[in-house]
Chain A
């Protein structure tokens, strides 16, 4: 186990440097000078050459590329991602400010889709091949093909415009500050409904599909037959014997879910004007705010890396076969 963990961690470190180099090279191969762009959009054409050079120096943009990279990676370790070219505030502060909104949305969506998807997957595993199960499999497949921004548009059109029961945009109503505590909670909850649905329906389909195939795989095993032969009822077999073992592959889904949710966040936050890091990312790209784009890309990629490392280790902890089988050739 020790050597397995050590190897995974070493690869994790390598991947981290791979991520940072990839992002850095990508952003700096882009045509166009961020300083020139900034000056152009902020009506600062009157700035002297010396002032421009000072600005460039402040952001280390006058150094060789390799040195710029080292400056930046050193900052990553100390969570210092430099200052935003938009408002000169530290990038990390700007991200921290928006992060809770994104986490709130994603955690609720994740829990909802797991709470609905896993039981549906279990249910269909026990009814494999029957008409109801087949129909639900096709249905989930179609759900997965729905473009989320289209679903969002239709939801807005139906619930907000036609019925007028749910708010169209934003995280709170305009007169939010005048509300009492309970009213505030209700108001915010109403704003959450449509974004959460948009974010979770496809995720739920993935959960259902994944847990179904995991349980189906387990049900074929000999020890399930043994349990049945000993006279255990179908409910007992499913929950005590099958589900507990099917949970192991579900762990890996955890690592796969995070990048998926974050991708979804960009679209959902943009459509519903939810003030999270997805929107911040989009705005930063539009204003060529390199520091913020770099920071967000790296933070999300590293979060994904950590999640996949954790899920690998949980997996190895839960299933001893992994850590003994997976020896390097």
Chain B
């Protein structure tokens, strides 16, 4: 236990070495706060952003940024800033939930393959090969479109198609640690397989998986916004970053603010999760010191 804490501190120290990664972490925390309090920050009665995400004002359609609408309005006169603030909820919940599903599916399959080897390993490996053959967006698009676009469908579709990296990491870790002393000891003291896998081995195999989880959140946010942009995402009028960009495409000859600001939101958020994952990977790499 103490060893684990020590290892954790070392990793954190290594992580902190990159100032960019720390800023990325601060940014992600801030976005989480914004998402949690979005209804308080941006609503018709809020002092901070005095517009709700769906407050329509037909008299002020497609207005460029000014003192009242700081990031302009869309084609129904809705405040772009308010919609971006509420859009954080869609992006974060899809990113986190899809990754959580991928994490569970990938960990369980990877654990079974790595622990039992043999037939289990063979089946899981073939399954991974099959999933990897599909162009990712193609498959997600098909699932989402055919089962009707909704927040839930998107989360499930993304989760069920992106677990392969997690599975491979967990499998490799299990192969490495399944015969170590602590696992042998658990086995000798009569623990059942399920207990050894989930209580003893899995917690020790999760560190590298967190790296891929961070990348996973980034790619899930990216794909969700692409789906919304293509009209296959969260159905309107729900505010999502991709939905705003979809409106921007219709008014491309004029409304630059519609394209610029939500795009920056997607880009910075995706980059933040990628930077955190990248830094985390380096911090875990024993060759780094």
Interface residues of A (CB under 8 A from B): 11, 14-15, 18-19, 22, 26-27, 30-31, 138, 141-142, 144-150, 153-154, 156-157, 161, 168, 258-260, 262-264, 266-267, 270-271, 281-282, 285-286, 288, 293, 296-297, 300-302, 304-305, 308, 329
Measured between beta carbons, the chain A residues less than 8 angstroms from B226 are 147-149, 267
User: In this complex, which of B136, B138, B143, B267 has the most chain A Cβ atoms within 10 angstroms of its Cβ?
Assistant: B138
Contact with A along B247-273 (1 / 0, CB 8 A): 011001100100110010011001100
Chain B residues 230-286 with CB under 8 Å of chain A are 230, 245, 248-249, 252-253, 256, 259-260, 263, 266-267, 270-271, 274-275, 278
> Do the beta carbons of B267 and A11 come within 8 Å of each other?
no
> Do the beta carbons of B145 and A286 come within 8 Å of each other?
yes
> Do the beta carbons of A266 and B129 come within 8 Å of each other?
no
Distance in angstroms from B230 CB to nearest chain A CB is 6
> Do the beta carbons of A266 and B142 come within 8 Å of each other?
no
> Do the beta carbons of B141 and A154 come within 8 Å of each other?
no
Measured between beta carbons, the chain A residues less than 8 angstroms from B275 are 141
Distance in angstroms from A250 CB to nearest chain B CB is 19
> Do the beta carbons of A329 and B127 come within 8 Å of each other?
no
> Do the beta carbons of A156 and B135 come within 8 Å of each other?
no
Kindly state whether residue B20 has any CB partner on chain A within 8 Å.
Answer: yes
- Residue of B136, B141, B266 touching A259 (CB-CB under 8 A): B136
Contact with A along B146-163 (1 / 0, CB 8 A): 110000000000000000
Measured between beta carbons, the chain B residues less than 8 angstroms from A259 are 132-136
Chain B residue at minimum C-beta to C-beta distance from A168: B252
CA distance A150 to B270 in the complex (A): 13
Measured between beta carbons, the chain B residues less than 8 angstroms from A22 are 130
Measured between beta carbons, the chain B residues less than 8 angstroms from A305 are 133
> Do the beta carbons of B263 and A147 come within 8 Å of each other?
yes
> Do the beta carbons of A154 and B263 come within 8 Å of each other?
yes
> Do the beta carbons of B147 and A145 come within 8 Å of each other?
no
- Residue of A11, A260, A262 touching B129 (CB-CB under 8 A): A11
> Do the beta carbons of A304 and B133 come within 8 Å of each other?
yes
> Do the beta carbons of B130 and A157 come within 8 Å of each other?
no
Measured between beta carbons, the chain B residues less than 8 angstroms from A30 are 146-147
> Do the beta carbons of A282 and B141 come within 8 Å of each other?
yes
Distance in angstroms from A311 CB to nearest chain B CB is 13
Could you write out 16 A-B pairs with CB less than 8 Å apart?
A: A26-B146, A27-B142, A27-B146, A141-B271, A141-B274, A142-B267, A144-B274, A145-B267, A147-B267, A148-B226, A153-B249, A153-B259, A161-B252, A263-B138, A281-B141, A297-B134
Chain A residue at minimum C-beta to C-beta distance from B117: A329
> Do the beta carbons of B267 and A262 come within 8 Å of each other?
no
Kindly state whether residue B225 has any CB partner on chain A within 8 Å.
Answer: yes
Measured between beta carbons, the chain B residues less than 8 angstroms from A263 are 135-138
CA distance A258 to B138 in the complex (A): 12
Query: Contacts A285-B146, A297-B134, A301-B134; is A153 near B267 (CB within 8 Å)?
Result: no
CA distance A146 to B218 in the complex (A): 11
> Do the beta carbons of B138 and A145 come within 8 Å of each other?
no
Query: Contacts A141-B271, A147-B226, A259-B136; is A18 near B129 (CB within 8 Å)?
Result: yes
Distance in angstroms from B27 CB to nearest chain A CB is 13
Query: Contacts A18-B129, A30-B147; is A270 near B263 (CB within 8 Å)?
Result: no
Kindly state whether residue B229 has any CB partner on chain A within 8 Å.
Answer: yes
**Given A148-B226, A263-B135, A304-B134, 19 more pairs with CB closer than 8 A:** A11-B126, A18-B126, A19-B133, A26-B146, A141-B271, A141-B274, A149-B230, A149-B245, A150-B245, A154-B259, A259-B132, A263-B136, A263-B137, A266-B137, A281-B141, A285-B141, A296-B138, A301-B134, A304-B135
